[in-house]
Structure 1
Amino acid sequence: MPARSDTSAASSAPGSTPAPDAPGVSPRESQRAAAAGRRPRGPDPHPDPWRDADGQTNVDEMARSLEARGRTPAHMRLRRRFLRFVPIGPGERVLEVGCGTGVVVRDLAALVGRRGQVVGVDASRRLLERARVLCRERARSARITLRVADGASLPFAASRFDAALAVTVILHVADPLRVAREMARVTRPGGRVGLQDQDFGVIAVTHPDRALTERLMRGVAERVYAEPHSGRRLPGLLRAAGLVDVRLLTDVYQDTTLEPWTKTFLERRAERAVGFGIVDVATAERWLEGFGEVVAADAFVLTLNYYGAVGVKPR
């Protein structure tokens, strides 16, 4: 069946933005650390801290970052529209891979109700500890199970779930096809496998120095994420994993006022760029100052594409 495409835009509300990297350090701190012959002081020796959250010194701050993003109206719209697209219904058994602090788990629990079950897995014990606390109230009206597990080797029997989801996870995964195949394995015939991700190859932001902006944004994304362009590849990934009737949902995150979380996102991009040696401190600071000029002219725009793909396991 041809892919069905749907498109919408989620506008930013106060405090909403694309998911920033894990909290880091200032460009100047990063430069000093590099000059001293050591890695920039940051949350993790790995460029993508989400691949080893328990190895970070600031995992509690990372958890707060996930929750703060999850509460923003723009991301709530993106997430909930994807869940309607899957769709998820009352009484279903649903798996979420890479559940983090349980933001999506709580949404799923509201959809499946008392007769359903939501199972969330994550490789991070510390994020799951936080998830257990945050999901406690929702667990009074739905069955929620949280456990440590690797998405590439799920500890479940075949065909156990009605649906399996991974939301903003695949761009961090070293072997996306293996994870998709595991999700398909544990989904019943006729059930759905759904993936949603950003695509950092489709991010646009207004700035006086377009060339510098493109070099900095692209350079950081290519060094941080296992698959920075994962969004556009989700439909093909599902087909390669054996799913059929694959459908595509396209959404856009947008901010036209440089909200606080967008500002944080850009600041952390600058920090990363210095740490990776893409730019020096002075250039990073000049780049950040350029956004002030754009905002003063009432011309700021940041957009980031989100893609959701859903496939059906053959009967």
Structure 2
Amino acid sequence: MGEHDFLDGLRLSAGDTCVDVGCGDGNAVAALTRAHIKAIGIDPDPSVIAVARARTPGAVFHVAHSDHLPLEDESVDGYRAANLFHLLPDPLPTLTEARRVLRAGGRIALVGQDYGFLLLDSDDQDLTDVIGLGLESRSVAPRAARSYRDLLLDTGFHEVEVAVHTRVTTDYQKLADNLADAASAAVEKALITREDADGWLAEQADRGRRDRFLGIAPILVVTGTR
């Protein structure tokens, strides 16, 4: 997914203000700033905020949680949250805050991967599907993205639109750590044995060496108007 896909959905103009909630190390904040948007980055982790601030010194950053934003009522034109809602046991306090800080007519963009739709090629697809369940177990709400549209409509947003961007990876090294984590989680949940996990990881590493690795994940971008 390109850096400007969410910008199109937010319908922002130069000089508008946008908050990126759960901004991490600030990639989206940097993209907003390059588009001449007044960017505010918010994340509960001080270490990633320090990285983001060094990357884009002209932006504003706060260490805060998504359900308690240090912003005035109706103070921003755009609200973005990526890869956040799968971590939240209850999304409603975060969406209530989003509505509070957005001006009337402001746009929201929720971006995320639905972990129920991760495709990995394998000689043993049944085993791969079970390991996918291990990966899901690492998140509080691994399939939250499929509910974005409902969540926005239920909290009073309108003009809700859904777009899907497919992320394709053929570089095993990019996902090696995630695959190992997923396999270990499946073992911990007693879904597979350690022997199963090691054999599957060896197969994926071999695919990487032979340029036969393939991972596909749909990324949902759901936008709405306050």
Could you tell me the TM-score, scaled by structure 2's length?
A: 0.91
Aligned partners of 2:135 and 2:181 also within 8 Å:
no
Matched residue of 1:311: which SS? strand
Q: In the TM superposition, what is the alpha-carbon distance from 1:301 to its structure 2 partner?
A: 2.5
Q: In the TM superposition, what is the alpha-carbon distance from 1:272 to its structure 2 partner?
A: 2.9
Q: In the TM superposition, what is the alpha-carbon distance from 1:298 to its structure 2 partner?
A: 5.8
Matched, 1:227 2:141: yes
- For residues 93 and 269 of structure 1, the distance between their equivalents in structure 2, rounded to whole angstroms, comes to 38
Q: What is the 5 A alignment of 1:1-315?
A: 75=1, 77=2, 79-111=3-35, 113=36, 116-136=37-57, 139=58, 144-221=59-136, 223-255=137-169, 257-292=170-205, 294=207, 299-313=212-226
Q: In the TM superposition, what is the alpha-carbon distance from 1:252 to its structure 2 partner?
A: 0.7
The CA RMSD over aligned residues, in Å, is 1.9
Aligned partners of 1:94 and 1:161 also within 8 Å:
yes
Could you tell me the TM-score, scaled by structure 1's length?
A: 0.67
Q: In the TM superposition, what is the alpha-carbon distance from 1:296 to its structure 2 partner?
A: 7.0
Q: In the TM superposition, what is the alpha-carbon distance from 1:273 to its structure 2 partner?
A: 2.7
Deviation by residue 1:212-244 (Cα, 9 ceiling, x = unmatched)? 1111111331x2112111221111111112100
Q: Detail structure 1 runs of 4+ shifted over 4 Å in the superposition.
A: 292-299
Deviation by residue 1:176-202 (Cα, 9 ceiling, x = unmatched)? 122112111110001101100001111
> What amino acid is the match of 1:162?
D
- For residues 128 and 294 of structure 1, the distance between their equivalents in structure 2, rounded to whole angstroms, comes to 37
Q: In the TM superposition, what is the alpha-carbon distance from 1:258 to its structure 2 partner?
A: 3.4
Deviation by residue 1:283-312 (Cα, 9 ceiling, x = unmatched)? 111011222555577654211110011110
> What amino acid is the match of 1:261?
K
Closer/same/farther in 2, CA of residues 91 and 295 from structure 1, 3 Å limit? same
| Identical columns (%) | 24
The gaps in structure 2 that reach 5 residues or longer are none
Closer/same/farther in 2, CA of residues 290 and 98 from structure 1, 3 Å limit? same
- For residues 236 and 284 of structure 1, the distance between their equivalents in structure 2, rounded to whole angstroms, comes to 36
Q: In the TM superposition, what is the alpha-carbon distance from 1:83 to its structure 2 partner?
A: 2.1
The gaps in structure 1 that reach 5 residues or longer are 1-74
Q: Which has the higher contact order (CA 8 A, sep 6+)?
A: 1
Q: In the TM superposition, what is the alpha-carbon distance from 1:89 to its structure 2 partner?
A: 2.1
Equivalences, count = 226
